[in-house]
């Protein structure tokens, strides 16, 4: 009996690990990644509500607007590369302004599995990694409640770049590395008092800055 309970426990732990792996990057206020095509469970443990998303895309306040457009859907892979290139260009531009040279570079060829690495923040003193994600769930910045982020591959894929700290202490100077965030406006469900237009803000990791320790 004990062995059976132990085997069930191990199975559940392995299943939980697999789900966590398939869900993509777990950010502080967002999780799941539609780019990986997973059915990451939501905060209530239920699978991603694709039937509600499909219905909203057709009948929602922003879905009706999209139906009137004849523009061709952009390949998600091209959008991903454009986002990474833009982020890398911004990081390198900041490095030139701060240091007069290029100190941190991302990998030029994007891949879904490995994240890109760079040095960022303050005087480029904190190491960080960045990549793209199409989060499936988030925490509303306005209400503090969980929301489902609308992701319909490949027709309506809301991709963003995230950048998270890889070090807790600054290099070269004494100080701590602090995570920064930026609010992204997503199309979300459910519609409610805060999200009557189907849009809401979710914080996404945006960089890592060095906070020098005060002088003694």
Average model confidence (pLDDT) across the chain: 74
Instruction: Work out the pLDDT band at 61, boundaries 50, 70, 90.
Output: low
80 vs 47, residue with greater confidence: 47
Contacts 24+ apart (CB under 8 A), 111-117: 112/35, 112/36, 115/25, 116/84, 116/88, 117/166
Q: Is 32 helix (H, G, I), strand (E, B) or coil?
A: coil
Residue numbers of the domain that contains 125 = 75-107+114-216
Q: Is residue 48 part of a domain?
A: no
Q: Strands of 39-145 (E only): list them.
A: 116-120, 126-133, 137-139
The DSSP bridge partners found for residue 138 are 30, 147
Which of 32, 11, 12 has its CA nearest to residue 22? 32
pLDDT average, residue stretch 207-216: 86
Which of 190, 216, 167 has its CA nearest to residue 52? 190
pLDDT average, residue stretch 53-81: 69
Which of 203, 123, 216, 108 has its CA nearest to residue 164? 203
Q: Is residue 85 part of a domain?
A: yes
Q: Is residue 214 part of a domain?
A: yes
Instruction: Work out the pLDDT band at 136, boundaries 50, 70, 90.
Output: very high
Q: Is residue 212 part of a domain?
A: yes
Can you give the pTM of this predicted structure? Answer: 0.70
19 vs 142, residue with greater confidence: 142
Q: Is residue 132 part of a domain?
A: yes
- pLDDT by residue (tens digit) across 5-32? 444 333 333 334 434 446 878 899 999 9
Q: Is residue 165 part of a domain?
A: yes
So what's the pLDDT on residue 22? 63
pLDDT average, residue stretch 92-103: 47
So what's the pLDDT on residue 60? 65
Which of 214, 134, 205, 120 has its CA nearest to residue 167? 120
Q: Is residue 174 part of a domain?
A: yes
| d(C-alpha 78, C-alpha 40), whole Å | 24
C-alpha separations of 174 from 166, 213, 214, 215 in Å: 16, 6, 9, 10
- Total domains in the chain come to 1
Which of 134, 148, 129, 128 has its CA nearest to residue 192? 148
Asked if residues 67 and 155 have their Cβ atoms less than 8 Å apart, the reply is no
**Is the per-residue pLDDT at 131 higher than 60?**
yes
* Residue 100 belongs to domain with CATH number: 2.10.90.10
| Lowest mean pLDDT, pick from 22-26, 101-105, 114-118, 122-126 | 101-105
Q: Is residue 50 part of a domain?
A: no
């Amino acid at each position: 009996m004990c062995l059976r309970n132990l085997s069930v426990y191990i199975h559940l732990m392995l299943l939980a690990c697999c789900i966590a792996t398939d869900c993509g990057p777990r950010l502080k206020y967002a999780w799941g990644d539609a780019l990986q095509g997973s059915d990451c469970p939501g905060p209530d443990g239920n699978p991603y509500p694709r039937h509600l998303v499909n219905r909203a895309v057709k009948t929602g306040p922003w879905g009706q607007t999209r139906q009137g457009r004849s523009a061709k859907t952009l390949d998600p892979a091209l959008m991903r590369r454009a986002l990474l290139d833009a982020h890398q260009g911004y990081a390198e531009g900041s490095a030139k302004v701060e240091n007069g040279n290029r100190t941190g570079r991302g990998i030029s060829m994007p891949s879904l599995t490995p994240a890109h690495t760079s040095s960022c923040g303050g005087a480029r003193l904190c190491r960080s990694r960045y990549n793209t994600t199409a989060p499936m769930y988030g925490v509303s910045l306005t209400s503090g409640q969980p929301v489902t982020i609308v992701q319909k591959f490949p027709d309506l894929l809301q991709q963003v770049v995230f950048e998270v700290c890889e070090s807790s202490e600054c290099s070269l100077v004494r100080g701590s590395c602090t995570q920064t965030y930026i609010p992204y406006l997503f199309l979300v469900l459910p519609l409610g008092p805060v999200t009557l237009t189907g849009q809401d803000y979710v914080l996404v990791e945006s960089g890592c800055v060095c906070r020098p320790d005060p002088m003694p």
